[in-house]
Structure 1
Amino acid sequence: MPYHIEPKIIIDGTLYTLLAFSVATWTVILYKIWEFTNNSYRNRRFNQAFWDASDLAQAESVPVDTAIGPQARIAQQGFAWLNESQQAAGKHLKYIGSPAELLEYSLLVQMQKEQHLMESGLTLLASIGSTAPFVGLFGTVLGIMHAMHEITASGSTSLDVVAGPIGDALVATAIGIAVAVPAVLAYNFFLRRVKQQRTGLENFVTSFLHIALNTDKV
């Protein structure tokens, strides 16, 4: 460590970095809780309206704006592809091939977009969860080094002189662990929610294809 840099500045910088990590973690956690809750609510509303429709035409007229969510956007993509393929059949390369396979591909692309939206922020949680303890340990090492220099300069090795500075240095490691734990727990929890909601979207895609194939829309 360069001696022209005040050690306290580096240690304080480490603590402020951990504080920024903590703020980012809880911001992402609160946002993802709202996002997943909102998605579940809107998917339930859209499912009820969609499956209460008497046919595919009526399902297409479901007021999506009142319950826009992942499943509603997938349905919008499916209906848009069906309408465009009927009007532009044979005129564009993207409509050449098996209509059922092309529709499935279009729905899967939209589902992947929805999955990416659900996964946004999880990489940040994983990064903070894995790096925060090391940042805290870095601050502790610097703190102990600083404490040792002060102990050497004082020429005293009594417990009162040694324990205080080293104890203060260990605080950084404790803070790093305290920041990492909620980030790791939240990452695992939200990853499980992503898998659950993806399963629901996959089931909806399969059901949509079944309906489209059996109503001569494809």
Structure 2
Amino acid sequence: MSLSQIVTQLASVAVPASTATGAPTRLNPVELFLQADIVVQAVMAGLILASIWVWAIIVSFSMKMGRLDRQNREFENRFWQADDVEPLVRTNEDLPSRRVAAAGIAEWQTSTRRGLRDKEGLRQRLASSMEAAVTSESDSIAEKLNFLATVGSVAPFVGLFGTVWGIMNSFFQIGAQSNTSLAVVAPGISEALFATAIGLFAAIPAVIAYNRFSHRVNAFETKLYRFSDRFHASLSRELETM
């Protein structure tokens, strides 16, 4: 046997059977998507879009909360150091604390415009108006979190629907070809299970982000309530001198 023949035989032994037969040696997500049934493809595409939107919300909300925390803290520092807070409140700064303070000042001016008759009633109206402003600000901040909650709860079931449909299609292929070979069933099942994997890929970050951001919104709301209570106490002290 010549040297070239020995090298050829060794090479044929070294090549894995899957490569020699042209079968893939690892999972290819793109191929799984392209070879899937049209219904499963639609499920996968929807879940991929949902995942992209989830990550867009995560990035944008993180930046927004960081900016709001910093700007609100700076505004509150200027607010408590100012001798006259009305010029600060009249500005167009897009800040929750400014709007909460503006709600309190607006109620104060409305109630005292024609003379003060009921101090205790004014105190209650001031508290109610600022509490309503705090609730409105919190709801506005948390508005986008509803999408994260929806994706986190629905995406796994949407992926499961794609998986069930793909497995049904695989069994249909078994009946159509009268062949129970694993080679007939395995590709369809792999494509079907890939839909569930994408569903989990979209749901898991959404759930984690929703829980984390809900905590941040609650903490921010607590800060607004503290600011509201402190400003209410300040107005109440001024009310006692009238």
TM-score band w.r.t. shorter chain: 0.7 to 0.9
Contact 2:173 2:184 in 1 (8 A): no
Is 1:110 aligned with 2:133? yes
What amino acid sits opposite 2:65 in the alignment?
A: F
Q: Name the CA distance, whole Å, in 2 between partners of 1:89 and 1:64.
A: 23
Q: How many residue pairs align between the two structures?
A: 206
Contact 1:77 1:107 in 2 (8 A): yes
Query: Partner of 2:7 in structure 1?
Result: none
Spell out, residue by residue over 1:136-166, the C-alpha distance to the aligned partner (whole angstroms, 9 max, x if none): 0000000011111112222222232222221
What amino acid sits opposite 2:228 in the alignment?
A: V
Give SS of 1:196's match: helix
Q: Name the CA distance, whole Å, in 2 between partners of 1:194 and 1:99.
A: 29
| Structure 1: tracts of 5 or more residues without a match | 1-6
Contact 1:128 1:180 in 2 (8 A): yes
Paired residues for 1:87-102 under 5 Å: 87-89=113-115, 98-102=121-125
- Shift of residue 96, structure 1, vs aligned partner: 9.5
Q: Name the CA distance, whole Å, in 2 between partners of 1:89 and 1:101.
A: 17
Q: Alignment RMSD, CA only?
A: 2.3
Q: Which moved more, 1:208-217 or 1:41-50?
A: 208-217
Residues 130/83 of structure 1: CA separation in 2 closer, same or farther (3 Å cut): same
Q: Of 67, 86, 98, which residue of structure 1 is paired with 2:112?
A: 86
- Shift of residue 192, structure 1, vs aligned partner: 0.2
Is 1:193 aligned with 2:216? yes
The TM-score normalised by the length of structure 2 is 0.78
4+ runs of 1 displaced by more than 6 Å?
none
| Structure 2: tracts of 5 or more residues without a match | 1-35
Q: Of 16, 38, 41, which residue of structure 1 is paired with 2:45?
A: 16
Q: Name the CA distance, whole Å, in 1 between partners of 2:93 and 2:69.
A: 11
Give SS of 1:98's match: helix
Spell out, residue by residue over 1:187-210, the C-alpha distance to the aligned partner (whole angstroms, 9 max, x if none): 001100011001101101110011
Q: Of 128, 148, 164, which residue of structure 1 is paired with 2:151?
A: 128
Q: Of 175, 179, 182, which residue of structure 2 is paired with 1:156?
A: 179
Q: Which has the larger radius of gyration?
A: 2
Contact 1:43 1:67 in 2 (8 A): no
Q: Name the CA distance, whole Å, in 1 between partners of 2:180 and 2:115.
A: 87
Query: Partner of 1:171 in structure 2?
Result: 194
Contact 2:89 2:102 in 1 (8 A): no
Query: Partner of 1:119 in structure 2?
Result: 142
Q: Of 184, 203, 220, which residue of structure 2 is paired with 1:180?
A: 203
Query: Partner of 1:76 in structure 2?
Result: 102
Residues 90/51 of structure 1: CA separation in 2 closer, same or farther (3 Å cut): closer
